[in-house]
Each structure stands twice: as C-alpha cells, then as structure tokens.
C-alpha cells in the first residue's frame, strides 16, 4: 500500500490530472475488471464456507444449490462452540506456536550471531553441518523422532510437539546472512565502550535487525500454527491435539452437518485471517523476505 492511494476522483478525470499513474482507458478498465473477478473467484471457497455456515442445517443439502439463505442463523456456530474441543485445539495451537516461535528466535539468533561475528575453533565445519540440515526434509524424520519421543516420555506433551520444530537451520542461515552485512565498525564502537558480546548483540545488532527478526518470527509462527504432520504423529490424545490435527482427523466431529462443519472451519480460519488483515504489509514483506517453504 505504497503511495498509490491517490484520490479516487483522479482516475475519473483521466489524463488531465497529474498524479495518478493509472489512467482510465478501455484497457485498464478491462484490467481492473479481470483483477476483481479473479480475486472474487479466489475468495469464493471462503465465501461459500461462510454462506453455508449461516444456513439452517436442513437447507445445506437442498438442491439446487443456493448461495444465500432466507433464514440466516448462528445456530451452527453456537453448537460448535458449545462442544468446546475447537477452542481447546486453538489454545493448544497458540501455546505451541508461541513456544516454537520464541525458542526458534532465541536459539537461531544466538547461533547466527556466533557464526557471523565470533571466531572459534571449528566454526567453519560446524556451520557447514548446520546448513546441510536444510536438505533434510522433516517428513523423513517422523518415524525415528516418534520413537525418540517415546523414549524421552514426550509423546502427547507440548514440548514433544514443539521441540522438533525449533530446529530451523534455514533460519540460522537467513539470520547469519543478515548479520554478516552489519559493518563491524558498529560493534567495535560498542566494544570500545566495554560492552561484552551479549551486550553488543542485544543493544547493537538486534535493534538493527528488526525487519529480519519480524520476518523470521512471522514465518515461524505461521508455520507452527499450520504444521500438520509432526503434531499429527506426536499426539494421540484428542485433548493435546493442535487445531489442524483435531479439526482434520477427529472422525465424525461434525458428522454430516455441513453448517456446523463450515462454522468450525470459519472459526478456525479466523485467528490468522484477522492477524493477516491487520499486519498485511509486515507479513507480505516478511514471507517474501525469508523466502522458504515447508
């Protein structure tokens, strides 16, 4: 949302006005119509879910298909919330995502700083070993990790779900690359004033790294919130399940009650959609900045 939000009237009056980049020509009218149509098409599944969720249950299976009901109701939402498990899964997801994000940030920032700014014996090969970990798909590890969690007594615990997600070599790589670009002069100045390495990291490096920290934090949080495979493997107790796992696998949770199913989907979609609505710019630049994918 850069400087393109010039007054709308400008577009109407056409080339006479100076500021607007976009002039209304038949071409741009078509462009805008196509863009709006594509966006609506892309939103259609979500709109359909909302439309279904406010129908009385009996109307959801009516043929022919209708988008809008004459008798909108919040009955489906009330039933879903009354069951309670959805809120429980949401709370689990929130706890685990916060845990994963906080730990990832602390561990990866420390490691990236150590690799970028300190010299110690074995630094080169240790970093090479860490970077090689980027190649290991987490999906390969589910079987041995589950056995390991069993031995450690961490099955069906928050720690068991969270800890394996904390190991993110890619984030160490991204952060180190950023720290490398911070001129040593800044740190030298602080060091001259008697600051130790931890102090330099905290009061010199971190304040200069806010964008990359936000990017790593957002990316990690969204990833942990939506992670499916490992939480799915690591939980057997429905009370410990995260939102994607509980919602996706608890059989017959909502049976053939489509209004309730869609109400559950809408409620589950809301937290991150709302966050995305408010922090669109940060999230867009953050994810484009880190540029990696599960």
Partner 1 sequence: MTTRTSTEDARAPSLPEPPGGTAPRRPASWTGLWFVLPFVACYALFLVWPTLTGLGYSLTDQSLSGAPAGFVGLANWQEALADPNVWSSLRNTLVFTALSVPPLVLVGLGMALLTDRARRLGWFLRFAFFAPFVLPVAVVTLIWVWIYQPGIGLINGTLAALGLGEVNWLTDERFAMLSVVATTTWWTAGFNYLLYLAALQGIPREVHEAAALDGAGSWQRLRGVTLPLLRRTTALVLVLQLVASLKVFDQMYLMTIGLPDAATRPIIQYVYESGFTGFRIGYASAVSYLFFAVVIVASIVQFRLFSRKED
Q: Hey, which residues between 220 and 259 contact partner 1 (CB under 8 A)?
A: 222, 225-226, 228-229, 233, 243-249, 258
Residue from the set 100, 172, 213, 240 that interacts with partner 1 by CB under 8 A: 172
Q: Which is nearer to partner 1, 75 or 182 (CB)?
A: 182
Would you say 245 and 231 are in contact if contact means Cβ atoms under 8 Å apart? yes
Q: Which of 131, 167, 160 is nearest to 236 (CA)?
A: 160
Nearest distance, CB of residue 20 and partner 1, angstroms = 9
Residues in contact with partner 1, shown as a per-residue x/- string from 73 to 102 under the rule CB under 8 A: ------------------------------
Q: Which is nearer to partner 1, 84 or 121 (CB)?
A: 121
DSSP letter for 202, please: I
DSSP letter for 255, please: T
Compute the distance between CA of residue 56 and CA of residue 66 in angstroms, rounded to an integer.
Answer: 13
- Is residue 139 involved in binding partner 1 (CB under 8 A)? yes
Residue from the set 48, 71, 78, 87 that interacts with partner 1 by CB under 8 A: 48
Residue from the set 64, 84, 194, 255 that interacts with partner 1 by CB under 8 A: 64
**Ranges within 17-36 binding partner 1 (CB under 8 A):** 21-22, 27-28, 31-32, 34-36
CA distances from 123 to 12, 129, 169, 177 (A): 62, 10, 15, 15
Nearest distance, CB of residue 284 and partner 1, angstroms = 6
Q: Which is nearer to partner 1, 43 or 78 (CB)?
A: 43
Q: Which is nearer to partner 1, 163 or 240 (CB)?
A: 163
Would you say 216 and 104 are in contact if contact means Cβ atoms under 8 Å apart? yes
Query: How many chain residues touch partner 1 (CB under 8 A)?
Result: 122
Residue from the set 9, 19, 58, 118 that interacts with partner 1 by CB under 8 A: 118
- Is residue 178 involved in binding partner 1 (CB under 8 A)? yes
Compute the distance between CA of residue 204 and CA of residue 17 in angstroms, rounded to an integer.
Answer: 47
Compute the distance between CA of residue 107 and CA of residue 168 in angstroms, rounded to an integer.
Answer: 9
Take residue 218 and report the two structure tokens written for it.
Answer: 């957002």
**Ranges within 255-284 binding partner 1 (CB under 8 A):** 258, 261-262, 264-265, 268-269, 272-273, 275-277, 280, 283-284
Would you say 88 and 275 are in contact if contact means Cβ atoms under 8 Å apart? no
Would you say 271 and 90 are in contact if contact means Cβ atoms under 8 Å apart? yes
Q: Which of 202, 227, 218 is nearest to 275 (CA)?
A: 218
């Amino acid at each position: 949302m850069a400087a393109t939000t010039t007054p709308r009237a400008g577009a109407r009056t056409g080339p006479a006005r100076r500021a607007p980049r976009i002039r209304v020509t038949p071409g741009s009218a078509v462009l805008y119509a196509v863009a709006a149509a594509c966006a609506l098409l892309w939103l259609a599944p979500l709109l359909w879910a909302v439309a279904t969720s406010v129908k009385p249950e009996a109307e959801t299976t009516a043929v022919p298909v209708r988008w809008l009901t004459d008798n909108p109701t919040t009955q489906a939402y009330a039933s879903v919330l009354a069951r309670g498990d959805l809120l429980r899964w949401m709370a689990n997801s929130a706890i685990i995502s916060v845990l994963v994000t906080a730990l990832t940030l602390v561990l990866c920032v420390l490691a990236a700083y150590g690799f970028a700014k300190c010299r110690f014996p074995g630094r080169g090969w240790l970093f090479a070993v860490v970077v090689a970990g980027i190649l290991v798909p987490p999906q390969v590890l589910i079987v041995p990790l589950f056995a390991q969690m069993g031995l450690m007594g961490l099955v069906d615990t928050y720690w068991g779900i969270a800890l394996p997600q904390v190991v993110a070599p890619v984030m160490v790589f991204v952060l180190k690359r950023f720290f490398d670009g911070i001129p040593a002069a800044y740190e030298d100045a602080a060091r001259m004033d008697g600051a130790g390495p931890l102090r330099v990291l905290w009061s010199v490096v971190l304040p200069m790294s806010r964008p990359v920290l936000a990017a790593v934090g957002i990316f990690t949080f969204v990833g942990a919130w939506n992670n499916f495979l490992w939480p799915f493997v690591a939980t057997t107790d429905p009370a410990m399940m995260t939102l994607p796992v509980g919602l996706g696998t608890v059989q017959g949770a909502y049976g053939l009650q489509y209004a309730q199913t869609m109400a559950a989907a809408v409620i589950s979609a809301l937290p991150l959609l709302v966050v995305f609505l408010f922090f669109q710019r940060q999230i867009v630049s953050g994810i484009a900045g880190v540029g990696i994918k599960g």
